[in-house]
Amino acid sequence: MALNIVNQIDDQVKIERVLVSVYDKSGLNAIIPALTDINPEIKFYSTGGTYTRLKSFLGTRFEANLIKVADYTGQPEMQGGLVKTLDFKIYLGLLSETYNQDHKEDLDRCQAVELDMVIANLYPFIEVISRPATTAEMARGNIDIGGPTMIRASAKNFLRVAALTDPADYSNIISELKSSGGFLTLKTRFTLARKAFELTAGYDRAIAAYLARQDYQQVESCYKIINQELIR
């Protein structure tokens, strides 16, 4: 398959549909109401505990602005929340390009929408492994899969999508959106993409380093290992 090369994009992109799925929920109480003030028609697609938190911020006035990812995709979350956002419709919305007719046809075929912003951060793997009592199983359970995937997808498509991964950036993004009437520039989207890829790269480096220094016997001791051959 030939490499997809883009040669036409928009400098300013209006933020109309936002995918929100965060572990660290600090700052949501500021950015979510601000986004509705800037664009009362904005839509939020969200999951799990993040959905519940957003619902409390938005109240009944903006009830229609909030959509469960499971309702949008038609797929309920995997038990234990292991799969929430890993869905074809989500990634069509993140990776589609504005001036690509084939992508528009893909969106129409799947009844999908373009997503303009991702607000996401990751399970606290580094924090968890810093605790003396942490086992290999506790560490494994805090390896985020969906978060890095949607962050990487949105950051790759900085041509159209803003990857917002740090609550410390929320106020600057709100300021730009207020001054521009709800638009973010290519420069801002590119700056956010650089930060997003640094986040996921550091996250993967931390996981790889942790696993490299684990003794196999310590890992094995976390589990009751069943020998299927002996059972048969």
Does 221 score more than 80 pLDDT? Answer: yes
* Annotated domain spans of the chain: 13-123+145-197
| 65-89 pLDDT, tens digit each | 999 999 999 988 787 777 788 899 9
Does 232 score more than 60 pLDDT? Answer: no
pLDDT at 230: 59
Residue 16: pLDDT band (50, 70, 90) is very high
Q: Are 182 and 39 in contact (CB under 8 A)?
A: yes
| Stated pTM of the model | 0.94
Q: What percent of the chain has pLDDT over 90?
A: 87
Q: Mean pLDDT across the chain, nearest whole number?
A: 94
Q: Which fold has domain 13-123+145-197?
A: Rossmann fold (3.40.50)
Residue 229: pLDDT band (50, 70, 90) is low
pLDDT at 24: 95
| Strand partners for 19 | 45, 118
